[in-house]
Amino acid sequence: MRRLLLTILLVLSLSCLALSLILLLIGLTGTHVPERPAFLVFVGGIGVFMASIFVMRSLQDSFTQREIRKQPWAIALRGAPSWVLKALKFWGWCASIAYLAFLLLPKSRRDAAFLPFVAPLYVSVFSALSAAIMYSALHIPNELKCPNGHPITPLQKFCPECGVPTAAAAISE
């Protein structure tokens, strides 16, 4: 059930990413960007990003607050190949620089630039991030734990740290 949900969310995130990049390309060629599809992609991108925040929290569960604060993305994306995090950082920087440039524009040009450039650029960053989180969640091996949260292997009947019976003990009884 969890895998199915994550797979659906991964596909949705990738669709939003692809659509936002298409919108961005349309905007860059100077063609008028249709408002309704742009708005739907925007809402979809925000939707999958909200879902990915919950998934990210669950991926950080077994880490301490300190570790999470130090490298939140590396922890959340540990199931994905390492180039994914680098690519996301690069794209995030590009989007931030583009946003600063956008803020420097006079107001009338800013309104005109929002829909064709800024909105799809941001949706692409957020949906790429969601896709990476879903992918990571699908590829992290299940971490087994005793009821007290110590790491165990599937065959250990008792936790090596605290001695509490594990699920394997319950099955063998």
From residue 78, give the alpha-carbon distance in Å to each of 60, 130, 138: 10, 14, 11
How near is the Cβ of 111 to Zn ion at its closest, in Å? 59
Q: Which is nearer to Zn ion, 130 or 166 (CB)?
A: 166
166 near Zn ion, rule: CB under 5 A: no
How near is the Cβ of 119 to Zn ion at its closest, in Å? 49
163 vs 98: CA distance, rounded Å: 55
Tokens standing for residue 7: 């797979």
User: Which span (18-26, 65-73, 123-131, 138-146) binds Zn ion, by CB under 5 A?
Assistant: 138-146
Q: Which residue has the tokens 């569960």?
A: 61
How near is the Cβ of 144 to Zn ion at its closest, in Å? 11
Number of residues that bind Zn ion (CB under 5 A): 6
Residues 144 to 163: which contact Zn ion by CB under 5 A? 146, 148, 150, 159, 161-162
From residue 2, give the alpha-carbon distance in Å to each of 58, 140, 142: 12, 13, 12
Q: Which amino acid is at 37?
A: P
- Please report, as ranges, the residues that interact with Zn ion according to CB under 5 A: 146, 148, 150, 159, 161-162
